[in-house]
A = this chain, B = another copy of it.
Amino acid sequence: MLSKNQIKYIQSLHQKKYRQQYGAFLVEGAKSVQEVILSDFQIEVLITTEAFYKENTRLIDRQRKPVEIVSVAELERIGTLESNNAALAVVKTKENIPLLAESGEIALILDDIRDPGNLGTILRIADWYGIRKILCSETTADVYNPKVISASKGSFTRVNWWYGDIVDFLKQSSVNGSVVYGAFLEGEDVHTLPFQHSGYLIMGNESNGIRPEVEQYVTQKVTIPKYGDAESLNVGIATAILLDNWRRNVTL
């Protein structure tokens, strides 16, 4: 049974303001909760149905944090998912540590990706393509938004992110020498462009693309060739296709 204060606290974490204030966020649903237990995230409290606890006792007992057993109705009342018959974890956010693409590494830069579903999808795609670092403009959706966590299908536990001023970041001398690819409508065809081993790929806002102040640091504009008539591709889809081309097209 949860106390009134616990319920209030958990529900406050639906909002970014309180996630930042308390340094905590919500992980919901069976798979995401299982993955977060196995990850290096710190869990504050785990709230689970009796059924989920019984099926996952060994896993749940690994993490020695408080466990609360509740009904499905209560779980759905405190969380954000329309249906959740498994569990919810309150998890500590991580420190916002700067990231840099090392030699042989690809990092993503997100310039104002607003939609939480798109950001979650991008996390999942990054995880598929072995991308471990994502640098986000401060205007990009909050990665701790429950919709991002849910759309990432557990990949949020395997990808690192940093939020900050990406223009300042790109100005740094440490970035010099790296190729900075940017997705544009009038770039080089990625079916024929040989990619470098390491570097950055910048993806821009859903409607407006990459901002001019970011664009000036792009050293190679890239484009997905079009064979039909759709005006554009969703930014998650475009990220996937670009990373697929990067991985297969690396200069040896």
Contact = CB atoms under 8 A, between A and B. Distances in A.
The binding surface of chain A is classed by DSSP as loop
Contacts of A244: 224, 241, 244-245
A17 interface: no
A124 B237 CA distance: 11
A153 interface: yes
B191 A230 contact: no
A47 interface: no
A226 interface: yes
A232 B128 CA distance: 7
Interface in A109-132: 121, 124-132
A214 interface: no
A194 interface: no
Contact of A158 (B132, B226, B229): B229
A153 B230 contact: yes
Given A236-B237, A241-B241, A228 B126 contact: yes
Contacts of A233: 124-125, 128, 240
A214 to B, nearest CB: 25
A155 interface: yes
A230 to B, nearest CB: 4
Given A233-B124, A233-B125, A234-B124, A227 B240 contact: no
A124 B191 CA distance: 20
Interface of A: 121, 124-132, 153-155, 158, 191, 224-234, 236-237, 240-241, 244-245, 247-248
Given A237-B240, A244-B245, 12 more contacts: A124-B234, A125-B233, A126-B228, A128-B226, A129-B227, A130-B229, A153-B230, A155-B229, A158-B229, A225-B247, A236-B237, A240-B240
The 6 lowest CB-CB distance pairs between A and B, nearest first, are A130-B228, A130-B227, A127-B230, A128-B230, A191-B248, A237-B240
